[in-house]
Structure 1
Amino acid sequence: MTADASAKLTRNAVLLVLVASLGYFVDIYDLLIFLIVRKASLLDVGVKPADVFKTGISILNWQMAGLLVGGILWGVLGDKLGRIKVLFGSITLYSLANFANGMVHSAEMYTIVRVIAGIGLAGELGAGITLVSETLSKQNRGYGTMIVSSVGLFGAAAAAIVAHYGWREAYFVGGGLGILLLLLRLGTFESGMFKNVVHKDVSKGNFFMLFTNWNRFKKYLCCILIGAPLWYVVGILISQQPEFGIALNARDKLSAGDSILYAYIGIAVGGMVNGLLAQITKSRKLVMYLFLVLSAITAVIYLKSTGLTTERYQWLCFLMGFGVGYWTTFVTIAAEQFGTNLRSTVATTVPNFVRGSLIIISQGFVALVAHYGMINSGYIMMAILTVLALLALSQLKETFGKELDYLEIS
């Protein structure tokens, strides 16, 4: 390879990492803006104060259902039509949904728009991680996904800041960011590995292939289970802060925006540390073990923190966020477990099935609360999810430095 060709390849790789990072930034912004403005926006569209918690959980679950549908849709399209087409399609859909979300005036319309936004959101992370993993060298792709994680997760911080200017304005800004990113992506290129298989006579993006072989299905299920604790921490322990604040006898009124802001700063820092440790130890599994245990410890500390002050709560949100800073590492592990003709399907569906698992987790948590209260239910659910994640991780093979240019044969 000539020096010019090598330099061009490097520039293209840097551009892809940048675009994937900013895509994840907008993805996280939009995904979490509802959690931040939940109470204010629902009250503004006419939901009674006593129904805010129940209605908020319902809308969140419908958004997660959209993510489940979108995860399958975009994942399959990514393997059939290409990773770049998914990045264009998904950003367009959820940008338009954001603009629409800023104009809703009822809980019913709010729900419909969040479903559409969820479908759009589902394509970003998986397609971005797949592109980065297939473009960078096997020794350095961990650095690429680490950058995607670190830059992208600051989208939550941006959402928390913008939300101070009004919930409708926050959705409009999210839509505008999506359109700007769409324009930036005009200069990106397709994965070389995908180009190598696009004309081959092999099944591509066949979602059902994941269920026709026991070993393949077991890997897929384990990839989903190792990520479940993260969304429980974010979607329940952190985002339901008014209810946990009461249960913990908080001295101050706790802010939903602050909880998301500090938690995602923690996730971003945790993602950098997680990625660097994986590169140093040359083991993604070892680092995942460490962070799964750490996340359980930080959850216990939080649930024991009675008489919370605002400052202590912010630190706890940061620590819990740091503990679950393994999000892109977990998605990278999933992408590296499967061949090129199924990689986008897996890398896109797995994180969205994890997000969608919040439907089951939240319903289980609500059922537990009825019998054991907020705090004890918090312990029980975290213990169950952590044990399942550790067992699932033990069943997966180490993928650091694995060659990815191969196919899954049905």
Structure 2
Amino acid sequence: MNYQKKTVVASVAGLTLEGMDIMFLSFAMSMIIAEFHLDMATGGLISSITNLGMLFGGILFGILADKFGRVKVFTYSILLFAIGTALTGMAANIEQVYIFRFIAGIGAGGEYGIGVTLVAEAWPKNKQGRASSYVSIGAQFGVILAALLSAMILPAWGWRGLFFVGIIPVLFAFMVRKNLNESPEWLASKIEKKQASKRGSVKELFATPRTVLTTIALAVMATVQIAGYNGLMIWLPSMLQQSQGLSVSGSALWTISTAIGMIAGMLTFGQVMDRLGMKKAYGLFLIASAVAVFFYSFATGATGVLIGGAIVGFFSNGMFAGYGALISYFYPVEIRSTATNTIFNFGRALGGLSPILVGFILQHANVTMAMIYLAVLYCISFIALISLGNGHAARKQNALHTLSKAI
């Protein structure tokens, strides 16, 4: 297996484990609430604290990866993620659950950004889209894996047994460290001692007016991506049960249909990005997302709801496939991991609050207004996209491609 494929396999596996852990919390939440006698708000805080950990970990591990190497820090982030997950299964009270989920979040926040940075630096620009799309479906694999494991473990060993499975990433980290070499582009920049004083500096994300605009625009786009996904996946089943009279089993079928659309959208988006370029691909999918989400509020009948859900998922979450390549493209190697981790995890933390606003809209208005809100989000992201420049020019993609193949 060549170096390029190894980076994809490692990143896919890392995101699969992260997605699995996040869904473990969803499946175990009712049991945790019951054991510690929590109200819904206190239980929901577990997820919020995990997201805050991801933001902190994204910044911390992004800086470390730029300073000390992608692979080394990648494995450390996985180890911390595994430790936090396993410790959650030993929590004696809700305060300990908060602490351990924050630790797991720190590790998870570092893992994603470093993984996609490795992929972006290993693949030539005309293939980064499809490589990034392969990585992105790892989260969907994690959801499926979590569902299967939860069905087997929860009835027998309860929610604690589920989190003990989190020790598995320790073995994965060992394999990565043993079989994956450091990024050739990062090694080259270190040998040249290029911009050593600026390596891993968050300040460099705001060093010039052009960079400030780029960082803000990408942060807006990442926030919209997470906000749209969370708003759709958390509230749409309830919306459909109310507006269309769908049963719980019917809304579960909608979830599967939408997830299939998302996977197809991510794989397609990677191909479109490589053929049309980043800005055109995002522009096309953002406009399509706004239109699809708005008209979906008028869908009727079981067939219309299922097909419409797949179409919305195809466009709205298909774009997730490109964020690793998109953010990496706009920053030099010295701060690339810092930029990717900081920007995307900022989007996770802020966009993760979207379900609160969607719930408020549903309580005081109706489904149509909630869908208009989501459609407007994609329009805002489109405006942010237009403000982006042409990216970091000195990528030397052809030379890197040759070096990667040699390794």
8 A contact 2:78–2:169 mirrored in 1: yes
Query: When you count helix as a share of all residues, which structure comes out higher?
Result: 2
Query: Which residue, out of 170, 177, 181, partners 1:179?
Result: 170
Pairwise CA distance, 1:254: 5.1
Specify the alignment match of 2:47 in structure 1. 60
Specify the alignment match of 2:313 in structure 1. 321
CA distances 1:45-89 after superposition (whole Å, capped 9, x unpaired):
423xxx42x334432222211111111111111111111122111
- Tell me which amino acid in the other structure corresponds to 1:116: I
SS in 2 for 1:140: helix
Query: Which residue, out of 275, 278, 282, partners 1:284?
Result: 278
Specify the alignment match of 1:250 in structure 2. 245
Pairwise CA distance, 1:171: 2.7
8 A contact 1:134–1:404 mirrored in 2: no
Q: Distance in 1 between matches of 2:164 and 2:253?
A: 21
Pairwise CA distance, 1:120: 1.0
Matched, 1:205 2:197: no
Specify the alignment match of 2:212 in structure 1. 217
Specify the alignment match of 1:85 in structure 2. 72
- Tell me which amino acid in the other structure corresponds to 1:348: N
TM-score normalized by the length of structure 1: 0.83
Closer, same or farther in 2 for the Cα pair 1:168/1:305, shift >3 Å?
Answer: farther
| 1:152-171 to 2 correspondences below 5 Å | 152-165=139-152, 166=154, 167-171=159-163
Closer, same or farther in 2 for the Cα pair 1:384/1:110, shift >3 Å?
Answer: farther
Closer, same or farther in 2 for the Cα pair 1:130/1:232, shift >3 Å?
Answer: same
Specify the alignment match of 2:334 in structure 1. 341
Unpaired runs of at least 5, structure 2: 398-407
Identity %: 24
8 A contact 1:157–1:261 mirrored in 2: no
8 A contact 2:71–2:182 mirrored in 1: yes
RMSD across aligned positions (CA)? 2.9
SS in 1 for 2:318: coil
Specify the alignment match of 2:97 in structure 1. 110
Aligned residues: 387
Q: Distance in 2 between matches of 1:272 and 1:103?
A: 38
Specify the alignment match of 1:15 in structure 2. 6
Query: Which residue, out of 224, 227, 243, partners 1:229?
Result: 224
Q: Distance in 2 between matches of 1:256 and 1:120?
A: 33
Closer, same or farther in 2 for the Cα pair 1:84/1:350, shift >3 Å?
Answer: same
8 A contact 1:17–1:148 mirrored in 2: yes
Pairwise CA distance, 1:105: 5.5
CA distances 1:317-350 after superposition (whole Å, capped 9, x unpaired):
5443322111130231111001111111111112
8 A contact 1:36–1:257 mirrored in 2: no
Q: Distance in 1 between matches of 2:244 and 2:125?
A: 49
Q: Distance in 2 between matches of 1:256 and 1:78?
A: 42
Closer, same or farther in 2 for the Cα pair 1:95/1:313, shift >3 Å?
Answer: farther
Specify the alignment match of 2:125 in structure 1. 138
SS in 2 for 1:239: helix
Specify the alignment match of 2:33 in structure 1. 42
Q: Distance in 2 between matches of 1:357 and 1:26?
A: 23
Specify the alignment match of 2:266 in structure 1. 271
Matched, 1:129 2:116: yes
Specify the alignment match of 1:3 in structure 2. none
Closer, same or farther in 2 for the Cα pair 1:110/1:317, shift >3 Å?
Answer: farther
Q: Distance in 2 between matches of 1:181 and 1:379?
A: 40
